[in-house]
């Protein structure tokens, strides 16, 4: 089995794709940061 055939046989699992919108990932990352900061401050850890 060649490397091309092995790569083609793999099944996509629904992970992130290379051609997706980068702004959505950027906004989601910042939302996660803000949510974590709110959790830390509400628990009095900071």
What's the confidence (pLDDT) of residue 22?
84
What's the confidence (pLDDT) of residue 16?
63
Token pair belonging to 44: 């009095």
Residue 12 lies in a domain: no
| Total domains in the fold of the chain | 1
Residue 3 lies in a domain: no
> Domain containing 33: what range?
22-46
Are 40 and 46 in contact by the 8 Å Cβ rule? The answer is yes
What's the confidence (pLDDT) of residue 35?
97
- Cα–chain center distance at 30: 12
Give the global pTM: 0.53
Residue 41 lies in a domain: yes
- Cα–chain center distance at 13: 13
Tell which phi-psi region holds residue 44, choosing left (phi > 0), alpha (psi between -120 and 50) or beta. left
Token pair belonging to 22: 């980068």
Residue 9 lies in a domain: no
Residue 14 lies in a domain: no
What's the confidence (pLDDT) of residue 37?
95
What's the confidence (pLDDT) of residue 8?
61
Residue-wise pLDDT for 1-46, tens only, equals 566 655 666 776 776 666 667 888 899 999 999 999 999 999 988 7
Residue 26 lies in a domain: yes
Residue 44 lies in a domain: yes
């Amino acid at each position: 089995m060649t490397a091309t055939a092995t790569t083609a046989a793999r099944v996509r699992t629904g992970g992130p794709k290379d051609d997706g919108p980068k702004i959505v990932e950027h906004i989601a990352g910042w939302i996660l940061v803000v949510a974590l900061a709110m959790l830390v401050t509400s628990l009095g850890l900071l």
